[in-house]
Amino acid sequence: MRKYILILNMITLIASCTSKKPASVKEETHTEEASSNFVSLTQLQMKAAGIELGSIEQKNLQNSIKANGMLSVPNQNKAFVTSVNSGVIKTLLIQPGDFVRKGQIVATIINPDVAGIQQQLQTVNAQISLNEIEYNRQKELVAGNAAPLKNVQRVESELTTLKATRNSLQKQLSTMGIPISDVNKGNIITTLTITAPITGTVSNVSAQIGSDVNPSTPIAQIVNNALLHLDLFVFEKDLPKVHDKQTVHFTLTNNPGKEYDAQIFSIGTAFINESKTIPIHAVVKGDKKGLIEGMNITAVISIGTTLVPAVPSDAIVNFQGQDYIFILSKGVSLNHEQKEEGGSRNKGIDKEEPGLNFERVRVIKGVSDVGYTEITLVKNIPLDAKIITKGAFFAMAKMTNAGEDE
């Protein structure tokens, strides 16, 4: 009997030890799974990989129309630089890319023929001075009954004609840019200035020093990008959803990294050739840096007010068929945690630079537009959480490589 009881106690002891072991294994597995969702990156690693941080934004991606088009400048914001007179270019003061203001001198030309007009003006001025003296003399004679009234009338008519001729010559010289005051002082000018007709940037220069120019030959072209427009093309089925003052978000087709805004101000009433698309015109708002006429763009026209959480598409990485983003953890870095644990595999950690701790969080992707993708979070995160918006693939690579090494 005593032997039976001893065997029973031994079986009970073995069973209790066996039941405790799986619990320990389960707890250890859970801890490893939790820690496998974290990765620590040093500032040096982040800089080398081009990692950037941002936040989850609210974007109007679902209720929108996608359209293609190009940037344009209205004709009233473009101008050719021309000369009102023929001549030969003496100096050229601009080159493509220069910013000029309205009225700024951009070139000078030589034209000896304008000397004749200035000479005429000087002659007319002298005749007017003589006629004014004669007019006053005849008035005095008429007042003393020493001359007939018709003499005063004749001199007055001649004076009026001379003044009209003077005004005409002065207008011509002013149009040429020749100062009237210099001509009145007896100076003769044969070098004419050409000024910028509008404020803007010189897009091209088509003349050079020594070139013959005339009123029909442009010297250069100036474009003012202050009122850049979007020329969009919308299909017939989407036309009822488009209206005036709608917001348009767009990116450059060849450089989708930055987003710009515009507002619709005009909707076309006819199809473009046989494409079955209608032209939509919008004015670019806000920052226009880097935008040039003729650039191709990809746009999204917002047609609703429903906002969805979205992140830059580069912030989402796929691993084993699931999508993730990396969120900055407010806790200590993994390097710091590992130094407290100790152990043989932590050798050399003390010398490492402290890093930022990021948690891998699973998301469900939605619609993508203009470089952003809608996401649905599988777990709740703080509203002000910082995420990796660029370079998330590096964090995933470091995490998966670390897991393989372990």
Question: What's the confidence (pLDDT) of residue 220?
Answer: 94
Is the Cβ–Cβ distance between 397 and 64 less than 8 Å? no
Tell which residue, 161, 91, 69, has the closest CA to residue 124.
161
CA 216 to the chain's CA centroid: 34
Residue range(s) defining the domain that contains residue 237:
64-73+228-302
Q: Helix, strand or coil for residue 66? A: strand
Integer Cα distance of 318 and 362 in angstroms: 10
Integer Cα distance of 289 and 25 in angstroms: 59
Integer Cα distance of 264 and 183 in angstroms: 52
Q: Do residue 322 and residue 363 come from a single domain?
A: yes
Q: Do residue 333 and residue 285 come from a single domain?
A: no
Q: Do residue 248 and residue 312 come from a single domain?
A: no
Residues 6+ apart with CB under 8 A from 345: none
Integer Cα distance of 355 and 41 in angstroms: 5
Q: Do residue 270 and residue 282 come from a single domain?
A: yes
- Which residue, of 302, 324, 340, is where some domain finishes? 302
Question: What's the confidence (pLDDT) of residue 70?
Answer: 92
Question: What's the confidence (pLDDT) of residue 176?
Answer: 83
Residues 6+ apart with CB under 8 A from 338: 346, 349
CATH of the domain at 273: 2.40.30.170
Question: What's the confidence (pLDDT) of residue 145?
Answer: 78
- Which residues of the chain are modeled with pLDDT < 70? 1-35, 61-63, 146-147, 304-306, 331-354, 402-406
Question: What's the confidence (pLDDT) of residue 3?
Answer: 41
Integer Cα distance of 173 and 119 in angstroms: 11
Is the Cβ–Cβ distance between 189 and 78 less than 8 Å? no
Q: Do residue 326 and residue 286 come from a single domain?
A: no
Residues 6+ apart with CB under 8 A from 183: 118, 121, 122, 173, 189
Q: Do residue 164 and residue 145 come from a single domain?
A: yes
Residue 336: phi and psi, rounded to 5, are: -65, -40
Number of domains in the chain: 3
Integer Cα distance of 228 and 292 in angstroms: 8
Question: What's the confidence (pLDDT) of residue 337?
Answer: 41
Question: What's the confidence (pLDDT) of residue 354?
Answer: 66
Question: What's the confidence (pLDDT) of residue 150?
Answer: 81
Q: Each residue of 338-366: pLDDT tens digit?
A: 444 444 444 444 445 567 899 999 999 88
Is the Cβ–Cβ distance between 92 and 208 less than 8 Å? yes
Q: Do residue 234 and residue 292 come from a single domain?
A: yes
Residues 6+ apart with CB under 8 A from 320: none
Q: Each residue of 74-113: pLDDT tens digit?
A: 888 899 999 888 899 999 999 998 999 999 999 999 988 8
* DSSP assignment letter at 188: -
- Which residue, of 269, 302, 335, is where some domain finishes? 302
Is 205 a domain residue? no
Is 265 a domain residue? yes
Tell which residue, 289, 248, 290, has the closest CA to residue 266.
248
Is the overall model pTM greater than 0.75, yes or no? no
Q: Do residue 278 and residue 315 come from a single domain?
A: no
Indicate the burial class of 401 (C-beta count within 10 angstroms; 0-12, 13-18, 19 or more).
Answer: exposed
Integer Cα distance of 205 and 222 in angstroms: 9
Q: Do residue 319 and residue 295 come from a single domain?
A: no
Question: What's the confidence (pLDDT) of residue 84?
Answer: 86
Question: What's the confidence (pLDDT) of residue 402?
Answer: 59
Q: Do residue 325 and residue 243 come from a single domain?
A: no
Is 220 a domain residue? no
